[in-house]
Each structure stands twice: as C-alpha cells, then as structure tokens.
Chain A
Amino acid sequence: MKAIGIILAGGKSAKLKELCKVRAVPAMPVGSSYRAIDFTLSNMSNSNINKIAVITQYNSRSLHDHLSSAKWWNLGSKQGGLFIFTPFISNENNSWFRGTADSIYQNINFLERSNETYVIIASGDAIYKMDYHDVLNYHIQKDADITIVCKDLTGTTKDPHDFGILQCDDDMRMIEFEEKPLEPQSNLASLGIYVVKRTFLIKALKTIVPDGRYDLVRDLITRYRKKIKVYGYKYDGYWNTLNSIKSYVDVNMDFLDKNIRDMFVKEGQFIETKPKDEPPAKYNSNASVKNALVGSGSILNGYVEKSVLFRKVFTGENSSIKNSVIMESSVIGKNCVIENAVIDKEVTISDGKKIIGTPDEPVVISKGSVL
C-alpha cells in the first residue's frame, strides 16, 4: 500500500474513571484477549501498511509494554516497522504534545523521511475491522485533500452530541464540521480516521503549528474546510469506541455475539495481539459457564453467565459472576456474587463478598484492589 500509518494513542478519558488511571485508552483490555490498539494496528498491518507510528503521551507504560515487540503485527522488519513516539526534550522544544497536530508536527521527520504518497491517521481506541484500501481508493477517486471516515449514527445507540459531526453535500464533500455540537445538524459522525496526502500534511502542519494552532480537527479540518477539499467516506461496518464505563462493558459484551465475534476472529484477516503463553482454560468439576468468553490460563470453579473473563482469572466454588468484565489475573473467592461489575487486573475478592452494580452504572473495582 502506498501509505504510512499514524496511530494517535495519546488520549486519556476522564469518563473511563479508575480504568484509565493506570493506562492509556488504547491499552484498555478488550474481548478477553486483546488491547484496544490491536484493532487499529492489525487493520493497518492487514491493509499492507508496513510503516506505522504510534504517538503516545498519557500513561504510556502499559502501551510500551504491549508494543515492546513489533513482530506480532508483522511489523518487525528493517523496511518500515513500528515507531513509537513520546514527547521529548530538545534544544528547540521542551513541551508536551499540545494537541494532535502538534504531536505529528514534533515528529515531522517521520513524514519527511517516508516516500509513500499517503498517510492514514487513526485513533488507537476504536474497535472495528477495516481495510484501508477502500477508503484510500475513494480518496484518490474524489481527488480529496483530506478524507474523513464517518458513520451514520441513525439507528445506533451512539449520541451525535458526543462526536464530531459532518455536514456533506450530495457528493459527500464536507461543508461544515462541528465538534460535539449542541444541536447536531446531521447524524454523520467522524470516526477519527483520516486519509491525507503526505506532502499536503507536511505543508499544512508547517503552516498551522508554528502559528500556535495545535489541533488537527479544529485548526486544520474545520478552519480550512472551505479552502481545501474534505470528503466524508461512509463506513457501515461494526465500530465502537471506549468513551464511558458503560460503552466499555458494551464493547466487551459485543464479543459474545457470534456474528461480531466471527467477524473479528474468524473471517478474513486476524486481529493480532501480543501472545501471552498461558495454558488452556481449566474448567473444574463444579464449573458452570454460560454465554461467556474465557481467557487462557483461567481456572474456573464457579458459575459464570454473560460475562467476559480475561486471562488467568480464578473463580472460587459457588461464586456467581453475571454481566461482568473480569480482567487479567483477578481472583474471585468462594461464595462471591459479582453482577454488573468491571473488575480491573490483579484484583482479589475474598470469600463471600458481594459486588453488585446496575446495567447502566456498572461498579468498577480498580487495579490491584484487595477486597
């Protein structure tokens, strides 16, 4: 593919509360085996993009750990490969990334030293499966300066007030763009995935950033919308993002749906992740598991229903887990009741404890807690 990739993985999310205290959103565990960034990273690798930069800033340790080797995504190569950019101090510059445009501008060498014609920019916290060839072909065919991948929210549970909303003409050329509008004029939401010509991006960044304008959306796309050709590309497939505790639970529960799960794990190319070498899950004689994902290395003695268990989870006898997400290496004791909860990694719940939330407001137990 004639494109390089940039994954914006800097974001923190206040709405994810405790879950994001210890990790960046792209490092959030998803679907029993994965991290959020695996989806965008695999999409890029599967679209034959073999030079990818991950730009990260907030709480990046867990992300560094996950990306410590590029080979799992077929990016362990001399040509191209995986680049991880964090803020750094130099003679000219000692600031954190001040915005998305600034974060790319501070690493503009990456763009200048490439010779691929196009750049795919995507955020690292969305869950979807996309072949970027389709949007790139569309971009070329429309002769656009920037193409924004967007989704019609009609009929979904997503609220347009939470998104950047595009208004397009009949040809899908963008006329207006409003970030999280008070009164949305359309249902067409930006998914934070952009296609742009590399030379155009370099020129644009060199114009806006020294001028004190640091945001890709506000200072380039919105401000320049009439001067340049911005097109919307409608994407109809599954797409979800982690922007609240509830959406985090929903995304995980989506993997219990056979169609969605098969789309990710069985059809076409694989979503790749860093292997962890755990043994098979062990179901003991008192285990009873219905409609659940179980991570490898788990040992189950209790009841589990409509839940997602990550790797190395232990459940004690007579414990009951429903509608919950239990992350890696957590231990649930005997006779516990867990309902509508998100149990972060390495939590220990002692015998007989009850942790009960509601579907709309799941309880969150933060990483490493001992209850």
Chain B
Amino acid sequence: MRRKEMLAMLLAGGQGSRLGVLTSKKAKPAVAFGGKYKIIDFPMSNCINSGVDTVGVLTQYQPLSLNQHIGIGIPWDLDKNDGGVTILAPHVKGGEQGEWYSGTANAIFQNISYIDDNNPEYVLILSGDHIYKMDYSKMLDFHKANNCDVTIAVLEVTMEEASRFGIMNADENDKIYEFEEKPENPKSNLASMGIYIFTWSKLREALINDEKIHPDSDFGKHIIPSMLEKGMTLYAYRFKDYWKDVGTIESYWAANMELIETVPKFNLYEDFWKIYTNSYHQPPQYTGENAVVKTSLISEGCEVYGTVEKSVISTNVVIEEGAVVKDSIIMENCVIGKNAVIDRCIIDRNTVIGNNVIMGEGENIPNEDKPKIYNTGITVVGSDSVIPDNVAIGKNCVIFGSTKAEDYKDSKLESGKSIVLEDN
C-alpha cells in the first residue's frame, strides 16, 4: 500500500471575526497579505518547500474565495496524481445528518478516512492564520529524534504576553509536563503556535476517544491535556524565526507595514524559500510620468499615476493622477480616483474610490458599532464597495457596499461611523 510519511491538515475554516469587514465575505486564510499573497499561501508554501506534498485544507466559513484561490493546487505544485491538495468541507455522513466542524480536533476527527487513505506515519496540523516561514521537515526530524508522540512548535514570548497564549511547561530538554491555556500566572514563556506533529496512530486513537467525551473536541483544550494525562511523550519544538498572528485590524496592518522597511524582518525575496500564490496573469507594473512612489510594495499589474508612500498595494490596482495613498493597504483590482487622499486605511478588493475622496482625516474616535474591532484610527472598506466622488471620511469608519452620495450627510462620514449596506 502506498504511504505518505507525513501529510498536513490545514485548518482554514475560521472566520477571524476580529478582522471585521475584511472577513465578511471570505475566511481569514483568504485575506490578502503583503501585496499579492493570501494568508494561506504561507503555510501552503511552507508545506511544499518542506517536502510535504499531501495537504488537506479544511474549510467551513465562507469557503468560495478560498476554493477559487486553491483550485487544484497548481501555484504550489500541489497538483499531483498521488497526494496534492484536497479541500475537505463538512459533509453529510451515511445515515446521519451532516454536521459542522465543532472544534479543531473534531474537524480532523471527521476526516479520519481521508488521512487513513493516505496512510501516513505522521500528521502535521496547521492553521491558516499566521505569517511565517518554517521548514516542517526539521520539526519532523526533531519529532523522530525524541521518539515523540506529539511535537508542538513553540515561540518564546515575553512573560507579559504569555498569558494570552497556550503555554507549555517543559523540562530542560523541552519535554512538556504541563500545558496551560492562557494562564494568569504563567510558569514559562513557551507559547504554542498551533502547529503540531502527531504520530498518526496515537492521534487517531485520541481523536476517537475524545469525541465520545467532548462534542466540540479541540486540540489545545482537550487532545493535548488528555495525551499528557496518559503519559505520552510531548516535546516543545522551539521556533526562533519571524512568526506573526494577524488576527486583529491593527496587527494585520502592522505586519503589512513591516514589509516596507528597508530591511524587513520577514524576507519575501529569498530564492530558496519562495512563497507561492495564485498569479496566472502577471501583467507588468507601470509607474507613470508624475508618480511618486516611496517606501512601498507595488504588485504586478498596478498602474500608479499618483503618490504612494509607506503602503502595500496588491495586484492590478490603479492609482489615478493626483491621488495620495499613505500608510495604507490596498487590495487587488481597486481603483483610487483622481486627487483622492487615503490615509491609514485598509481597502479590500474590487473597490472603487471616487475622485477627490478624503479618507482617514479627523479625530480618533473608536467605531460606534464595533469599538473592539475598529479603534486604532484605521478606516476599513469592505470588498466590492463603491465610494462616490467628493466625500470626506473620518477615522475608524467602516464602509461596505456600493454607497452613493446620498448615503453621506453633507458629503461626510464622521470618525467612528459606519455605512454597511444590506445587499452585501
């Protein structure tokens, strides 16, 4: 029987609700990052670069955009006869009603037959939420060298941050003896990155047992503690490179902005660990006669006639004459109208900003409807939106939908206000 040494299961079903309107029509892993990429490109590229050529992608929340992006896996060379990428959506099972994935471990439990078909020795569990480059084959070597049942990738965080993470308490050899989820008084600073290698036979058993106890079986809450309890061998694998969670508007914005530094902490320009993405049509990028472009990333197919500073621009964006884009993230296929001023904004794909629009000016008042999501001065525009000519928009605003001039009182949207149209 054919056998894959290790296959990857990539959890990509999460909404990422703290990204607000950016994830209203797509799952978090499908959100654009670093110009031409999507968040899921990072773990997908890590897989193929690490020699993991069998990847199950578990989708649930708004999967269309993700399905279109992944297709049959061509950009990552995951279009294979044997293995390759498989999208695993929740499904109806024989004789029963279909059920949603109720937890991270439950999602894997529901796809045991997919894993069994590939008959792997080890299973790598990944999430589609993080920006990093990692050689999973080294982690597997570590797993084998220590005869582990489970290896958990960990990051050394500061003790102050530690109470926000799942923390591993380990001995001097990094053998884990205790796991604490978001401890108030952390005993260690080894934070789980949500990346696990399991010996498949052990995980298989644990999934089946736990499913009987917890209907919402979760790796951090249930599987890891139960395996510890049973005396299995768990090791922490220290990861020392760049790793970013981009779960909030502010952290998402900041992680993008790090890429435009002269020598960025996260290097996309490495030849031997490329990040792949779906980019079949790659027209050249044009910068016009009167354009000013500084300290920015500009992707393929963009046409810049105005000014762009300290910004990250995705593919096929047009920035018209006289427009000024500063400290902003503009996603694919957007058009920024003539003489528009965009300051500290995130504009999702296929959006048209009218001429003379001013965005991001005014007081820093948190968003009235969702103050927990929009509170750092960044105004966010959802995908496929339209903003009419000559309107002024403040900070922490949210706009979603084809807005018209009459939606703006006195051609203005004050800081902290939102226009979210139903038809989206």
Contacts and interface: CB of A to CB of B under 8 A. Distances in A.
Interface in B251-290: 260, 262, 268-269, 274-277, 279-290
A324 interface: no
A277 B275 contact: yes
Interface string A57-74: 000000000000001100
A297 B300 CA distance: 10
Contacts of B312: 280
Interface of B is mostly: loop
A289 B298 CA distance: 12
Contacts of B299: 280-281, 296
Contacts of B269: 279, 282, 297, 299
B119 interface: no
Contact of A277 (B262, B277, B308): B277
A117 interface: no
Given A282-B260, A282-B297, A290 B280 contact: no
A256 interface: yes
A285 interface: yes
Given A279-B34, A280-B35, A290-B288, A33 B282 contact: yes
Contacts of B285: 32, 281, 293-296
B298 A283 contact: yes
A272 B281 CA distance: 6
Nearest to A255: B284
A272 B282 CA distance: 8
Nearest to B287: A289
A277 B291 contact: no
A280 B281 contact: no
A33 B298 contact: no
Nearest to B278: A275
Bin the interface of chain B by size: 35 or more
Interface in B299-350: 299-301, 308, 312-313
B300 A33 contact: yes
Nearest to A281: B298
A323 interface: no
A284 B286 contact: no
A276 B269 CA distance: 12
Contacts of B282: 33, 273, 275-276, 296
A256 B281 contact: no
Interface string B105-118: 00000000000000
B301 A265 contact: yes
A277 B294 contact: no
A291 interface: yes
A295 B293 contact: no
A31 B284 contact: yes
A280 B36 contact: yes
A33 B286 CA distance: 12
A309 to B, nearest CB: 9
A71 B74 CA distance: 9
B296 interface: yes
A326 to B, nearest CB: 13
A261 interface: yes
A230 B405 CA distance: 61
A32 B298 CA distance: 14
Nearest to B268: A279
B284 A290 contact: no
A19 interface: no
A249 to B, nearest CB: 16
B297 A281 contact: yes
A286 B262 CA distance: 10
A275 B280 contact: yes
Contact of A279 (B74, B75, B275, B280): B275
A32 B286 CA distance: 10
Contact of A291 (B260, B274, B287, B313): B287
A270 interface: yes
Contacts of A296: 36, 282, 285, 299-300
A336 B169 CA distance: 56
A292 interface: yes
Nearest to B311: A283
Given A290-B289, A291-B289, A295-B284, A279 B300 contact: no
Contacts of A291: 287-289
B24 interface: no
A287 interface: yes
B289 to A, nearest CB: 5
B294 A285 contact: yes
A127 to B, nearest CB: 14
B226 interface: no
Given A284-B262, A289-B293, A279 B287 contact: no
Contact of B262 (A33, A264, A285, A288): A285
B283 A265 contact: yes
B356 interface: no
Contacts of A283: 293-298, 308
Contacts of A281: 285, 297-299
Nearest to A297: B269
Contacts of A272: 280-281
A272 B300 CA distance: 13
Contact of B294 (A261, A264, A287, A294): A287
B194 to A, nearest CB: 25
Given A280-B300, A283-B298, A284-B262, A33 B284 contact: yes
Contacts of A292: 286-287
A276 B300 CA distance: 12
Q: Which of B36, B260, B293 has the most CB of A within 10 A?
A: B293
Question: Counting chain B CB atoms within 10 Å of each CB, which of A31, A261, A289, A308 scores highest?
Answer: A289
A-B interface, 5 closest residue pairs, ranked by CB to CB distance from nearest: A32-B284, A265-B283, A280-B35, A279-B268, A280-B299
11 contacts: A33-B300, A255-B284, A256-B286, A265-B301, A275-B282, A276-B282, A279-B268, A280-B312, A280-B313, A281-B298, A296-B282
Interface of B: 34-36, 74-75, 260, 262, 268-269, 274-277, 279-301, 308, 312-313
Given A287-B294, A296-B282, 9 more contacts: A33-B283, A33-B284, A261-B283, A275-B279, A279-B269, A280-B312, A281-B297, A283-B296, A290-B288
